[in-house]
Chains A and B, each alone.
Chain A
Amino acid sequence: MSLEHLWQMSYDSKTIDILRNSKHAIPIIQSFHLFGITLLLSAMVILNFRMLGIGFGEIRLDVLAKPVWKWATAGMLLAMATGFFVFLPDPARYAANKSFLTKMSLLAVAILFQYTLYRRVLRSESSARAPHRRVIVPLLSLFLWFSVGWAGRAIAFLG
């Protein structure tokens, strides 16, 4: 079965049809999408500001990182799960939307970066304090995640 078939099947399914035709379903799902984004982005603000040395400096990085990393992952999973249900009722609209495609590409890069290189630098922070790691890595993380957010906003405005 091709991917196209899968989209068509989900498009025709009853659940997705209910979502598509309900006045409130999508806005409510989007509200949870926003909770997830707020969780994720605030976690990125806390961790990266701490690494850059511009905030949360009184709290040790490992004490900070433990709960914050968990809520970043929880926020991301919530945003992805809800995002899926915003996408499914109208996949053709999103597939043709340049901002959406940009958002998905940035998201892939952001996740890859955050859960590989970034995590490694975060864990070695106490020992390795090379300046490029304390500046470039947190700045890149902030840039990537907020770009995903802005691209998301652009879906509705720019197309």
Chain B
Amino acid sequence: MTIVEICHSIQQTGWATGFRQADLFFPLVEGTHILSLSLSVGLVLMLDVRLLGWGFQSETVSKVMRQVMRWALPGFAIVIVTGVLLFLAQAESVYTNSYFRVKMAMLVLLGVNAAIFQFKYYPEPFMWEKSGTVPAGAKAIAALSLVFWMVVIACGRLMAYEL
């Protein structure tokens, strides 16, 4: 069975059909998905701002990270749950949408980006935090995070026009 066929059968299930036909499903779930960007992506921006030297310079990177993650983690949970629901409701048409694929590829890149930050730069931030200068690699990661998230949001908007 191919992935498209799996998506097709998901889309045909009774509850997926139920989602699509419920008047409030798309307004509420899509609205929550989009507005929770401010609780996830928007908060990660704080860390990017700190790493790029645009603000919060009196605070350490680890402190900003800790403060951001406390709310960004539940924020991302909301975005993911609503995103999965939106996917399930129209799995086949979403899966075959090219903007959706670019969006997913970007999310994978963002994951890799975050993992590199976590493992290469974050374990010993104190080493460069004390000196006050952010390593160029960590700055590049912050800049890439900004650009990738913008592409993710744009793809999300563009794909909705073709469903």
Q: How far is the CA of A157 from the CA of B22 in the complex (A)?
A: 12
User: Which residue of B has the minimal Cβ distance to A44?
Assistant: B38
Interface residues of A (CB under 8 A from B): 24, 27-28, 30-31, 34-35, 37-46, 49, 55-59, 63-64, 66-68, 71, 146, 149-150, 153-154, 157-158
Known A42-B45, A59-B56: A34·B37 in contact at CB below 8 Å: yes
Q: How far is the CB of B56 from chain A (nearest CB, A)?
A: 6
Q: In this assembly, does B41 line the interface, its C-beta being within 8 Å of a C-beta of chain A? A: yes
Interface residues of B (CB under 8 A from A): 26-27, 30-31, 34-35, 37-39, 41-43, 45-46, 49, 54-56, 58-59, 63-64, 66-67, 70-71, 150, 153-154, 156-158, 161
Q: How far is the CA of A97 from the CA of B99 in the complex (A)?
A: 29
- A34 adjacent to B45 (CB under 8 Å): no
Residues of A within 8 A of B70 (CB): 55
Residues of A within 8 A of B39 (CB): 42, 45
Residues of A within 8 A of B27 (CB): 153-154, 157-158
Residues of A within 8 A of B46 (CB): 42, 46, 68
Q: How far is the CA of A41 from the CA of B127 in the complex (A)?
A: 34
- B42 adjacent to A28 (CB under 8 Å): no
Known A49-B71, A59-B63, A157-B26: A146·B35 in contact at CB below 8 Å: yes
Residues of B within 8 A of A68 (CB): 46, 55
